[in-house]
Homo-oligomer: A and B are copies of this chain.
Amino acid sequence: MPRLARYLPILDWGRQYDRETLTSDLVAAVIVTIMLIPQSLAYAMLAGLPPEMGLYASVLPIVVYALFGTSRALAVGPVAVASLMTGAAAGSIAAQGSPEYVGAAIVLALLSGLFLAGIGFLKLGFVANFLSHPVISGFVTASGILIAASQVRHILGVKGEGATLIDMIGALWTHLGETNVWTLAIGVAAIAFLTWVRSGLKPLLVRAGLSGRLAGILAKTGPVMAVVATTLAVWAFGLDAAGVPVVGDIPRGLPPLALPEIDPELWGRLFGAAVLISIIGFVESVSVAQTFAAKRRQRISPDQELIGLGAANIASSFSGGFPVTGGFSRSVVNFDAGAETPAAGAFTAVGIALATLFLTPLLHFLPKATLAATIIVAVLTLVDFSILRRAWTYSKADFAAVMATILVTLGWGVEAGVTTGVALSVALHLYKTSRPHIAEVGQVPGTEHFRNIRRHKVLTEPNVLTVRIDESLYFANARFLEDFIQERVVPDCGIEHVVLMCSAINDIDLSALESLEAINHRLSDMGITLNLSEVKGPVMDRLERSHFLSEMTGRVFLSQYAAAAELSARHPAQSPDAGRRAAE
């Protein structure tokens, strides 16, 4: 691939663009636009921002992603979890509704964009790997609950904000008496309708004679139907005068281009949140993108995706939006509707831009309860506690990380939750590797294999102790090996030779090298030699750069079999060609 095309994938797919691709992309764009309008408004409300910001975040970012992104199906825009995190971070700077709050959200998009593009250019995308799958699952589940809980107040038509589940429940309880029945009626009806649409509409349409694919796509327009119906109801019956909160006037016009606030102190306070929003968004996006890419045997480049998403966020920031990323549900729609290239995204952007120009007056009477219903029904599908059961059966360490992530997210908020999850999973991984499995091995009779003496009937020599360490040797487990050998050798006076079988050792760091030196000296003080067997090439290369091999009292053997044949007091009788093989 030419160099420029690596950074501008449009040069790659743009050259093969034809009328047929155009048609597919246009159809997909229309469908995604219809779906995206209520979503954009809803996620802006979730982030505590004016509704038009949701629309702004769905125009320029999509176009920019189309230029720089590598996924041909990923649809970029505001998503639920990132919106919740944006609200939490902006809320720590200023009160919702203030210009400072809006400014903070815009700065968050800029910082996210700079961070993503930065690690993309530096090819540091691996940092995202430290968010383990179980931690993400737990975090998304807990966030789904938090998001749904945060929207209940809109269904009741009362005040009651909060960053944690307990805050929210407390606030709702206080304001429960102020519930507006009209709002509640609209909200409950919308939730019921949207829930039914998810499962009931598609089969109905199929039975009415539509193709499965078309029925599936139409079923995704449920939120738009709910928006139209409830908006008409509020307008027709004047329910806004009866206290039903509505979206109200949305400024008409294209997204305003403006420079985000340059305030180092504010940037410093928001940087941590921006990093978390970016990484969580990136991990979600790249896994969605990779899934779709595999279906069409295409490739995505994770580092280029970072640049694409980073550019999209910078664009969002400069056009009055807030953090965006690739959304799962809208990408599914985009893919199912037949989007072939990122141009489908650009056409979607045009659709949303037209909506901001012409549709906004029609949204005046849109009840906030409908948007809240859309959010609740969407995010409750994210809530999935099955990860707890899976993790419990498979690995207690993973279970602990998931459980901690869920509890801390619900109890202390999103940032604390995801940080705890990452820290705990790293700590547990280090703990596991700091106490590696060490097996004492012996020869399986009649073979050249050496296996654990506790699991197999094997032959051992009284004067040779052979241990296999099932882990790379590094600082966290170096002392563990020292202790193990000291503990094993001191009481057993028959031992003349210790052999470390290194088949599962992929690295030996300097700490471990110093531990090996200490083991060598201590064994030497007891009159015992230290030997190595089956050392891998790269590990051996490195050992040869140190003085260890020349100081070692014993030898390095190519195979464990050669070591045993050489070191045993009595020559092994089981295999007639032992001597020859050992010498090879």
Contact = CB atoms under 8 A, between A and B. Distances in A.
Contacts of A291: 518, 521-522
A134 interface: yes
Given A394-B546, A455-B537, A475-B425, A295 B525 contact: yes
A545 B393 contact: yes
B132 A290 contact: no
A395 B510 contact: yes
Contacts of A432: 507
Given A398-B510, A432-B507, A298 B390 contact: no
A130 B430 CA distance: 9
A487 B299 contact: yes
Nearest to A294: B522
A412 interface: no
A506 B398 contact: no
Contacts of A477: 129
Contacts of A302: 479, 483
Nearest to A136: B511
Contacts of A130: 430, 434, 475-476
B504 A506 contact: yes
Interface string A90-105: 0000000000000000
A192 interface: no
A131 B397 CA distance: 23
Interface residues of A, number: 76
A437 interface: yes
Which residue of A478, A486, A546 has the most chain B CB atoms within 10 A of its CB atom?
Answer: A486
A536 B290 CA distance: 29
B395 A538 contact: no
Nearest to A303: B483
Interface in A469-506: 470-472, 474-480, 482-483, 486-487, 490-491, 503-504, 506
Interface in A422-465: 425-426, 429-437, 455
A515 B476 CA distance: 26
Contact of A294 (B426, B474, B525): B525
A133 B510 contact: yes
A52 B126 CA distance: 54
Given A294-B521, A297-B490, A470-B506, 10 more contacts: A126-B434, A129-B475, A129-B479, A130-B476, A134-B510, A290-B518, A395-B510, A426-B430, A429-B475, A433-B472
